[in-house]
Amino acid sequence: MIRFAASFAVALGLGTAVQAQTWDMPTPYGDTTFHTVNIRDFAEDVSKATDGKLEIKVHSAGSLFPHSEIKNAVRSGQVPIGEFFLSTLSNEDLAFGVDSQPFLATSYDQAEKLWEAQKPVITKLLDKQGLMPLFSVPWPAQGLYTNGEIKSVDDLAGLRFRAYNPALEEFAALAKAAPVQVEAVDIPQAFSTGQLQAMITSPSTGANSKAWDFVDTYTKIDAWLPKNIVVVNKRAFDRLSEDEQKAVMDAAATAQTRGWEMSKKEAAEKTAEMKDNGMAIVDPSPELEQGLKKIGDEMLANWKEKASPDALEVLQAYQGN
């Protein structure tokens, strides 16, 4: 009898194990980052809507795969779903990186318009790799972190400058700074060891890295609103039941709306947090603004020269609207 009960329990256990599945989901940013919070909410929404049949287990801060490997891990099916910084794919096609062109889209309205132009094109490009975008959320506008106020682009010359994607590498080089690749989670250490002296990123990443521990000035250049994207492996998605597929798509739509709202709120809140912690929050001088715009113009001209027809289609759809 005991043996029967035990095997019965095992059979039951196995039964649920076969039905319910867990998706491991690597993400690059830390737990306090609003993108990660939004993704955990997304996972919970999927779990609720499927009565626990599909659980998404979030592995944040590059703990399962380093950021640079997340896309290929989803592509190869090592994991069914993952998040990454969209513009890191601009080496594959510039269509992925158009959101990081300085001063092309600097408000949430413009960022939304740009995403609408970008979405069909990158959906097509990702589809060729067996991937499908689920949702994409922008970071707040990117500002400049330095020690002391930067009065003109000349003041950036020679600084060890953080670059998180190819566009920012080009930007740093045009400003005669020295680009250094550092993941967001490694920012505090890179500054404390002298690897970095300046960076461009959002108030979210600035405040989450406690930027006041290593720089004293934030200049609101509001230069671009780059996005994160969550993609799913299409084969993994196709294996879900119809109800589960709907649960994922519904939760993704909700996460996209919620994520954009969170981002908008963060912009002011995190800037205030930096101010409360003693940082000077300054507007760019006209001279700095002009110098940055000149770099932006040069970058866009280079971009157009190298852009694929797909990338140009995104720019035309955005500018033509």
In the complex, the residues that contact ligand PCA under the rule CB under 6 A are 85, 139, 142, 164, 184, 201-202, 204-205, 226
Q: How far is the CB of 87 from ligand PCA (least distance, A)?
A: 9
- CA 307 to chain CA centroid, Å, is 22
Provide long-range contacts, Cβ within 8 A and 24+ apart, for 119-122. 121/95, 121/310, 121/311, 121/313, 121/314, 122/86, 122/95, 122/96, 122/229
Rounded CA separation 44/19 (Å): 18
CB of 232 to ligand PCA, least distance (A): 21
Residue least distant from ligand PCA (Cβ)? 202
Is residue 54 within a helix (H) or strand (E), and if so which, with residue range? strand 54-59
Task: Using the minimum distance from each CB to ligand PCA, give the nearer residue, 85 or 103.
Answer: 85
Minimum separation from the CB atom of position 192 to ligand PCA (A):
17
Pick 58 or 141: Cβ nearer ligand PCA: 141
Q: Which is nearer to ligand PCA, 46 or 156 (CB)?
A: 156
Residue 236 CA to residue 78 CA, distance in Å, equals 10
| Rounded least distance, CB 305 to ligand PCA, Å | 25
Measured over the CA atoms of residue 140, residue 145, residue 150 and residue 155, the dihedral's sign is negative
Of 184 and 307, CB closest to ligand PCA:
184
Tokens (6 digits) for 257: 């709306």
**Rounded least distance, CB 117 to ligand PCA, Å:** 20
Closer Cβ to ligand PCA, 185 or 247, answer by number: 185
Q: Specify whether the CB–CB gap between 198 and 204 falls below 8 A.
A: no
